[in-house]
């Protein structure tokens, strides 16, 4: 769906009574303190550009648990006993082909799996001993073992997974979703980002709105202090002063908006409105004191301590309050050395809360309408990485040819394993799933046809999934 030829500038210039007066009446009726928000922005935020979903959606919200750094599928999901047999020997040249690596030679020795695997649930899903909690909800999961990406390094691979393009500047998945479907809440941002580490290689490009209006960018919630910067009223500023100050700013913005019709000014006005509402909604959201001790125990969450568990619990609370798209980035899976120790640490930090989120959503009747995605930007090599000069041993390098992603909830059939790799875990041999296929499937669960949600920029109609052919993974759909 392309944007119409009639621009915002024409609308603002030609509207006889002026949208400022329309917005003023609406705001006064709601007793809002700012009497100059743009009605067109309210419409875009609330309803999106689609008058209705392209088809009946199963999911209303998405929680993307992004394991940044790329977890080792060979230690977690894709059991390859043959690697133990070949450990210490190079892979056959027929397997590797012409693949080159950044930190290891193609003839590097094979490293066998570091942990044992068992089958779980009625589905018989095979999972590592490092994931006892996710194993307990195995029948809720669709385990996709045949994912593949075109990107080899962290930053472009992370940006590619989130935006469908390997370079910064394109809209992220959350931005496309809110642009198409709009918001279900006016009290919280419809697209929220949380991080449980020191930062990811792809940075803010992973949740940017790109060339879409900036109102669709992800809003970053911080782990400590105010959840959102500059929302709290500065010390010494009383409510009347704040109201008068922001009212003046908005009236000036409104005047410029009526003259120029610049959509970014409308976004600025809407952001002031959202910031005002967040002064009450954000503290209430972040206050976990009303959660039961049983719920906190389920997640393994200490409300006072930033953690992946707390982020998962907050994500559930956000979905309850109408937030549409949530990214949780957990950094630290880049196991160039000591893959066993890396997987153990990160699994201990994420396994319990990941499973708790699924259980919690289900017991509240929310899992059927909430799509949960778990995975990283690529996989890890079957061969060992070792370097005396770099201080590395018993690690695994980046592997774009094959990795695993989990999906559950809104529109996804649980208890299935989809796709397969060869006996060495090197190449996909059954039902390859490209990154754009994952993106198309996520949009489908939300009622969006990835071919039809487009935006015209620089004379071209762009879409999340790009120009290469891709498919919805229909075997995953409930």
pLDDT band at 332 (very low <50, low <70, confident <90, very high): very high
pLDDT the model gives residue 276: 64
pLDDT band at 5 (very low <50, low <70, confident <90, very high): very low
Q: Which residue has the higher pLDDT, 233 or 286?
A: 286
pLDDT in tens, 429-461: 999 999 999 999 999 999 999 999 999 999 999
pTM of the model: 0.86
pLDDT band at 196 (very low <50, low <70, confident <90, very high): very high
What is the 3 state secondary structure string of 173-230? Answer: HHHHHHHHHCCCCCCCCCEEEEECCCCCCCHHHHCCCCCCCHHHCCEECCCCCCCCCC
Where on the phi/psi map is residue 383: left (φ > 0), alpha (ψ -120 to 50), or beta? Answer: beta
Does residue 39 contact residue 19 with C-beta atoms inside 8 Å?
yes
pLDDT in tens, 261-319: 776 777 777 666 666 666 667 778 888 998 999 999 999 999 999 999 999 999 999 99
pLDDT the model gives residue 239: 73
**Helices assigned H by DSSP within 395-445:** 435-445
CA–CA distance, 299 with 24 (Å, rounded to integer): 45
Number of H-type helices and E-type strands within the chain: 15, 17
pLDDT the model gives residue 262: 75
Q: Is the pLDDT of residue 428 over 90?
A: yes
pLDDT the model gives residue 264: 74
Q: List the end-to-end C-alpha distance of the chain, in Å, as a whole number.
A: 27
Does residue 345 contact residue 80 with C-beta atoms inside 8 Å?
no
CA–CA distance, 105 with 90 (Å, rounded to integer): 10
Length reported for the chain: 478
Does residue 380 contact residue 72 with C-beta atoms inside 8 Å?
yes
Q: Which residue has the higher pLDDT, 96 or 377?
A: 377
Average pLDDT over residues 86-98: 88
Does residue 401 contact residue 95 with C-beta atoms inside 8 Å?
no
For residue 309, the surrounding DSSP H or E stretch is: helix 308-320
Q: Which of 127-136, 220-229, 363-372 has the lowest mean pLDDT?
A: 220-229
Q: Which of 182-191, 216-225, 294-303, 335-344 has the lowest mean pLDDT?
A: 216-225
* CATH T-level topology, domain 52-231+281-476: Alkaline Phosphatase, subunit A (3.40.720)
């Amino acid at each position: 769906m392309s944007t119409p030829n009639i621009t915002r500038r024409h609308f603002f210039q030609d509207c006889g009574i002026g949208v400022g007066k329309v917005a003023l009446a609406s705001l006064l009726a709601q007793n809002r303190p700012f009497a100059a928000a743009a009605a067109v922005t309210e419409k875009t935020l609330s309803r999106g550009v689609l008058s209705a979903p392209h088809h009946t959606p199963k999911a209303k919200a998405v929680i993307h648990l992004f394991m940044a750094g790329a977890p080792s599928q060979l230690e977690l999901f894709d059991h390859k006993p043959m690697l133990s047999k070949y450990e210490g020997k190079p892979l056959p040249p027929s397997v590797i082909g012409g693949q080159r690596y950044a930190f290891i030679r193609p003839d590097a020795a094979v490293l066998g799996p570091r942990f044992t695997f068992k089958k779980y649930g009625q589905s018989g899903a095979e999972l590592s001993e490092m994931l006892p909690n996710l194993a307990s909800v195995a029948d809720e999961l669709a385990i996709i073992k045949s994912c593949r990406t075109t990107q080899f390094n962290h930053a472009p691979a992370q940006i590619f997974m989130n935006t469908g393009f390997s370079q910064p500047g394109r809209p992220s998945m959350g931005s496309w979703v809110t642009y198409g479907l709009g918001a279900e809440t006016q009290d919280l941002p419809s697209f929220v980002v949380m991080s449980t580490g020191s930062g990811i290689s792809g940075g803010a490009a992973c949740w940017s709105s790109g060339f879409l209006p900036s109102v669709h960018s992800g809003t970053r919630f911080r782990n400590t202090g105010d959840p959102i910067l500059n929302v709290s009223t500065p010390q010494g500023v009383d409510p009347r002063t704040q109201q008068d100050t922001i009212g003046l700013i908005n009236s000036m913005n409104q005047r410029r908006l009526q003259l120029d019709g610049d959509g970014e000014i409308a976004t600025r006005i809407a952001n002031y409105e959202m910031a005002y509402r967040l002064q009450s909604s954000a503290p209430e959201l972040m206050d976990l004191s009303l959660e039961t001790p049983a719920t906190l125990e389920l997640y393994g969450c200490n409300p006072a301590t930033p953690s992946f568990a707390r982020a998962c619990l907050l994500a559930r609370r956000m979905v309850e309050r109408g937030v549409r798209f949530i990214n949780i980035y957990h950094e630290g899976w880049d196991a160039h050395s000591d893959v066993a120790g890396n997987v153990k640490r990160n699994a201990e930090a994420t396994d319990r809360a990941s499973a708790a989120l699924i259980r919690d959503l289900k017991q509240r009747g929310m899992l059927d309408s909430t799509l949960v995605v778990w995975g990283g930007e690529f996989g890890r090599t079957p061969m060992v990485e070792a370097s005396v000069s770099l201080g590395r041993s018993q690690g695994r390098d980046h592997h774009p040819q094959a990795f695993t992603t989990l999906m559950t909830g809104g529109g996804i059939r649980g208890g299935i394993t989809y796709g397969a790799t060869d006996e060495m875990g090197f190449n996909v041999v059954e039902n390859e799933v490209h990154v754009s296929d994952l993106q198309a499937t996520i949009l489908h669960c939300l009622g969006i046809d990835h071919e039809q949600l487009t935006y015209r920029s620089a004379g071209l109609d762009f879409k999340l999934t790009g120009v290469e052919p891709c498919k919805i993974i229909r075997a995953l759909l409930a």
